[in-house]
Amino acid sequence: MDKDKTIPTLSKTAVSGSINELLSKFDNGIELYQNNAVFANCIEHLVRGGDIYKIFEQIIIMQSNTQEKLTELISSGVLRQEIVVSKEKYDELTSGL
């Protein structure tokens, strides 16, 4: 392996500082980082020098795929659809029978 092609490693302190710097740019960055895997993954990619446009592209693809699958699921009728009717509305609907 060429020494020129080695990837420099970052210290934990440098990584933590970089992550905290990025998280501070968001109103609730720490909460998102702790509770949202996609957000945390994006932050970690950015810290490692990832291309923000590639990250956006992947998020858009994920969202499109999710929307497509949800549309298929709804259209298939697999989801049980329930209509909740109040007692008053039920009485009104059945009074004409």
- Distance in angstroms (rounded) separating the CA atoms of residues 13 and 85: 57
User: pTM of the entire structure?
Assistant: 0.58
- Residue 52's pLDDT is 93
- Spell out the domain ranges in the chain: 9-76
User: Please, which residues have CB within 8 angstroms of residue 30's CB and are 6 or more apart in sequence?
Assistant: 23
Q: How confident is the model at residue 1 (pLDDT cuts 50, 70, 90)?
A: very low
Q: How confident is the model at residue 88 (pLDDT cuts 50, 70, 90)?
A: confident
- Residue 32's pLDDT is 95
81 against 72, higher pLDDT: 72
- Residue 14's pLDDT is 56
- Residue 12's pLDDT is 52
